[in-house]
Amino acid sequence: MQACQYCGKPYVWFEKELFSGVQKRLLKVQVPACKCIEEREKQQEHQIKMHNIAEKQARLFENSLMTDLFKDKTFENLLKAENLLKYNNAPTIHKCQEYARQFKPKESYGIQMIGNPGTAKTTLLAAICNELIRKNYSCLFTTLSNLIDKFAIYSYEHAGNITPLLNWLTTFDYVVLDDIGRETYSDKRKELVFRIVDTLLNNKVVTAFSANPECITKLKSIPELNAVIDRLKDMCRISLEFKGESFRGR
Ligand SMILES: [Zn+2]
């Protein structure tokens, strides 16, 4: 008698009537008396599913351009007691967590985080991105400076045609421009910022940015960028201000 290779339980005989009437025949086969094989198949199916999810998450994380440094900037980690003490900003963390929970591509308002350096603006934006990636949304996390560089190089290599790269921008559900206003501006770079913001706005890509108050003042003092910054601020209607001193080095 055959037995289950996993639990050792002997198989049982199973009889089935193949044809009825005159040609009636009985089929007699050995079948498992346990659910081991079924359960293994279910388990394997589950493993494949989890593997695919993990792969998709890894791809979304890679596409986001976030560095590994930001991988553990999750709400779960920020809300741990020792970090709460460090950031001293539980209400804002909860606000951002609620934002990520209710996030809808093309519909949600953007966020602007204004405050001095080292007041957790970047950390919170990273936490929102991590949460959205966990929910399978595609995010881009970059500084405006890096983004302009990327566009400038692309423009140089493609005879000024940046349309494909602008289209790439529109594939994201959420775009974070971290620490704006630190860039240096040539006429070419002013034009690139205009087209980047214009594309995000026209395609309803939910956008967030962070900046120091002085950087906003600086950007607004550049005549060609004044209107661009107003449009960006209009997109990012949820405004969070960080008045606290820097926690870095504390
Ligand atoms: Zn078994």
Other C-beta atoms closer than 10 Å to the C-beta of 61 total 20
Q: Measure the CA–CA gap between 141 and 34, rounded to whole angstroms.
A: 51
What pLDDT score does 87 carry? 67
Q: Give me ligand 1 centre to Cα 46, in Å.
A: 19
How high does pLDDT run on average in the chain?
90
Q: Which strands sit side by side in the sheet containing 174-178, from one edge to the other?
A: 139-143, 174-178, 206-211, 111-115, 238-242
- The architecture CATH gives domain 67-242: 3-Layer(aba) Sandwich (3.40)
Q: Give me ligand 1 centre to Cα 31, in Å.
A: 11
pLDDT, tens digit (0-9, with 9 covering 90-100), for 35-73: 999 999 999 999 999 999 999 999 999 899 988 888 889
The tokens for 174 are 């959420």
Question: Does pLDDT of 215 surpass 50?
Answer: yes
Q: Give me ligand 1 centre to Cα 51, in Å.
A: 26
Detail the DSSP E strand segments found in the chain.
12-17, 26-31, 111-115, 139-143, 174-178, 206-211, 238-242
Determine contact, residues 201/133, Cβ cutoff 8 Å: no
Q: Give me ligand 1 centre to Cα 36, in Å.
A: 4
Q: Give me ligand 1 centre to Cα 41, in Å.
A: 13
pLDDT, tens digit (0-9, with 9 covering 90-100), for 97-135: 999 999 999 999 999 999 988 778 999 999 999 999 999
Q: What are phi and psi of 20, to 5 degrees?
A: -100, 175
Complete DSSP assignment for 191-209: HHHHHHHHHHHHTT-EEEE
The tokens for 211 are 């900046």
pTM of full prediction above 0.85? no
Q: How confident is the model at residue 165 (pLDDT cuts 50, 70, 90)?
A: very high
Q: Give me ligand 1 centre to Cα 4, in Å.
A: 5
